[in-house]
Structure 1
């Protein structure tokens, strides 16, 4: 198969635990571009979290917010929102249990509890600016994704909402909140349709639980050597660790380098 486009997750894939891009990854992505293959970021992060990284890699197309917002060469091509009713339901349940939330809009994000330790610890782990404080931000803005801050084992408290919402843990004290059925694969599918590229001609790299659908969807799904164990069954190939040439080795496997 002659692959035409490659989607890259960020955390644990393009960047390591220190949130640094290994030099061999940087070089591999630039070589990929030189060969005329389109590199695209596909991340759970919001677009305002990825600009310095995207610029350093020379990438201007991305699928962000776990598939909720896709941009091709600077032009937005796909938007998927959380419904106001599902957000309100989550706000009410979270308040009952003292769990903080973060509301992610298109250009900015806000929390309903600016001093909550779980919120601070999880957001700080991303090495991004802290959210502003506005517990009512969701009432007058489009919300693509949320963070729900609670410990592992407390997910059952939200079972009544799972017909409308999807929860994916990415931190010991935080989960992404998407519309039910939401995934990176939705944003990828929208981009491929715009470009006239089949999913069989696409490659994707990932390492986390939010990468399952993406790796299954594309023609070649590659899991990093440092992947969550539950991701491995969804991959076609497992490359090496992010700090051990994982991206380069995966691109070689795909016949792209």
Structure 2
């Protein structure tokens, strides 16, 4: 088993600043650790096609995407976990009955169930994206790996009770990520470590949100951003400065990866 050190970077609120860019200090820090043989990996709820500009800016070639459901290592897809069509169909039918719109994700595209939703519009403005293409049946024609449901805070409880084979993790005031119960970014990370024979003892992770909790429980050295949720800070080995205050470069120094 390789003793190579591997660092997993969440994106929103972590590697990305509030203006959705990668800070120059982060780009330089990632370049330097890469030159020292450290493997940087993106670990995000986003799909691969949403983060191409980040991969280009940083030179990173490996990603744990869509909350662990799709893993790329040095440009090669090594693991994917598409959702079951019958389970998606049942959830979509219930959401439609309740007047809640949805989004469906795979490696190539995002589609949504309506072209006129204020919650959808606000959600994608928040991450610097455009309003997705409308196609309410993508999952019937192509594999999908992640869904979103657009609803007010607290409304997801109904779905969690009714559909226990999914988990609903709120990622914004506008909606929740949906992926298989018991899976997470940590699932994708475990697959990457196992398939590439990398030691968990040499793993680091940077994060700020609720979908980083399982990742923090898995890696040996979790690093919380200064702007992270309190529950994440409580489980971190290190707390760095915020994503707008050179948190990546400062955190890499804190955990000894950047001299």
Using the TM superposition, name which of 203-212 and 243-252 deviates more.
243-252
- Cα deviation for residue 54 of structure 1 reads 0.7
Q: How many residues align?
A: 256
Give the TM-score normalised by structure 2: 0.95
2:233 paired residue number: 232
- Cα deviation for residue 3 of structure 1 reads 6.2
1:145 paired residue number: 146
- Cα deviation for residue 199 of structure 1 reads 1.2
In 2, distance between residues paired with 1:80 and 1:158?
Answer: 21
1:221 paired residue number: 222
- Cα deviation for residue 176 of structure 1 reads 0.3
| Conserved 8 A contact 2:4-2:39 | no
Using the TM superposition, name which of 16-25 and 143-152 deviates more.
16-25
RMSD over aligned CA atoms reads 1.3
1:101 paired residue number: 102
Query: How does 1:130-209 map onto structure 2 within 5 Å?
Result: 130-209=131-210
| Conserved 8 A contact 1:11-1:19 | yes
Query: How does 1:68-87 map onto structure 2 within 5 Å?
Result: 68-87=69-88
The alignment partner of 1:11 has SS state of helix
| Conserved 8 A contact 2:4-2:198 | no
- Cα deviation for residue 249 of structure 1 reads 1.6
| Conserved 8 A contact 1:101-1:111 | yes
In 1, distance between residues paired with 2:160 and 2:51?
Answer: 32
| Conserved 8 A contact 2:167-2:178 | yes
| Conserved 8 A contact 1:43-1:66 | yes
| Conserved 8 A contact 1:3-1:203 | no
In 1, distance between residues paired with 2:157 and 2:168?
Answer: 11
| Conserved 8 A contact 1:225-1:242 | yes
Query: How does 1:55-66 map onto structure 2 within 5 Å?
Result: 55-66=56-67
Give the TM-score normalised by structure 1: 0.96
| Conserved 8 A contact 1:169-1:176 | yes
2:248 paired residue number: 247
